[in-house]
Amino acid sequence: MKTFDSAATARLTRGCLLYCVMVVALSAFRCPGHHEPAITLPAGLDPSDMQAADAVLKQRTETEDMVKRFKKQGFSSSQIQFAKNKYDSSLAKVNAALERIKQDISASPGSQEEADFRSQADAAVGDSVVLDSLLETALNPGISPTNLTNYVLLHANTLPDSWVTVWKASRKLSVADRQQFLVYLDQELKWKNWEAIK
């Protein structure tokens, strides 16, 4: 029977340890095309409510995509700071409207509350339109308004209605569907901080 000296045992131990560390480290990374499954909307929503939620989701994803593209360009630090400030202003208004939906989810809607929320939705969309216009102009200098493909800019007039529809829909949900909807708001509609967008 062959015995190993202490140096050989140490090399074997280090090799096994290195292998284990690599397996754990590699398992933490995902394949480039792999994404976490999206949180779905509760089945209790009407198709029109789902369309409205999809419009609000597109507002987030379109803006986030433009921020990613903007960050990859060679803009000056003052231009980047200006865009970041505009983004932060939009983020605050959008996420405040989402928080309002979460707070009002179990309340009975009244006409005054709807008017208040509509003002909040108008502000969230208005700031987003300003931000997306700025980013669109920076990324595509000289673009004609007839050539726009930006979802937010093309749907600026209907997005506030989509927000109000989502707000109203949240109040119609069963108690069981509310939790799923709250998770959807946080994980799908809530805007990330500027730094978190890669």
pLDDT tens-digit readout, 65-119:
999 999 999 999 999 999 999 999 999 999 999 999 999 887 776 667 888 999 9
CA distance 54 to 170: 14
| pTM for this predicted structure | 0.78
Cβ neighbours for 104, distance < 8 A, ≥ 6 positions apart = 113, 117, 167, 170, 171
CA distance 138 to 153: 15
What interhelical angle do 159-172 and 77-104 show, nearest 10? 30
